[in-house]
Amino acid sequence: MVKCQVVMDALETIAPKRLAEDWDNPGLLVGALNQEVNKILVCLDVSDAVVEQAIAEGADMIVAHHPLIFRGIKKLRTDLPLGHRLQQLIKHDIVVAAAHTNLDIAEGGVNDVLARAIGLSKLSHFVLESQDVDGSVISMGRMGSLPTPMTVQDFARQVREALPTDYVRLVDAGARPVRKVAICSGSGAEFIQKAAFMGADVYVTGDVKYHEAQQAVEHGMHVIDAGHFGTEFPVVAVLKDRLMEELAEAKGTVEVIADQSSKDFFTVV
């Protein structure tokens, strides 16, 4: 076993909390830093199914991408989903931590995992945030290149096959071959204009709305909406491996497992 603090230190190395957006809520959300941890379950969302899996497998800690608690809680109703989930976590002594926008931004985090999965190389920064304490640039999303140009239809199929999704939504802006690609995992539609101005042939993100798609077409840029889940879930397995590496030299042993059963909420009928 190791202390929860040791796991949090490892998570800080992987995705420093200082990188998180001001509106975000990463870090330790449930439990205590001095709690003993024997098994960690890594997931995208702290859903009821994930909590049940943690209980069934004897996990003492859940490390998620999306924060379980995001806004202030004024009442704890255990007959409502969040309250019941918190009740179960506390009852079974399961601590919960999250690495959200800090993991999106961090080197080797969500966006780098997405870029590698869909075949991009020569990665560079996309939405510049600021400079880190060591002088390196902090960036939300990435710009990258394909080895050779391809049609947007072929690239859309490549994205669909690379990610845990049954479908992608393609915004076809016309006969423009694809080589330069901008990406932002999760909900990145707010950066469509930025991607177009930076010369992206196509922008890969999730949660794109009708008028945002219209804006992309007006700029002559394709968009591939691969979904919030599809663009982010691949980081779960990578984060599991990164935590195992960071905790390998810790005093005490801890097992790290990854959620493999969660699925996208959306399906095509």
CATH number belonging to the domain at 107-226, selected among 3.30.565.10, 3.40.50.1980, 3.40.1390.30, 3.10.105.10:
3.40.1390.30
Q: Which CATH superfamily is domain 2-100+233-258 in?
A: NIF3 (NGG1p interacting factor 3)-like (3.40.1390.30)
How many of the other CB atoms lie within 10 Å of CB of 253?
10
Q: Residue ranges per domain, the chain?
A: 2-100+233-258, 107-226
Query: Percent of the chain having pLDDT more than 90?
Result: 89
How crowded is residue 200: how many other Cβ atoms within 10 Å of its Cβ?
A: 26
What pLDDT score was predicted for residue 127?
86
User: What is the pLDDT, as a whole number, of residue 236?
Assistant: 98
73 burial class (0-12, 13-18, 19+ CB within 10 angstroms)?
exposed
Provide the residue count of the chain: 269
* Residue 47 or 137, more confident: 47
pLDDT at 105 over 90: yes
DSSP class of 92: T
Task: Check pLDDT > 80 for residue 9.
Answer: yes
Predicted TM-score of the model (pTM): 0.94
Structure tokens at 29: 């959300």
The two domains 2-100+233-258 and 107-226 share their CATH topology (first three levels equal): yes
pLDDT of residue 257: 97
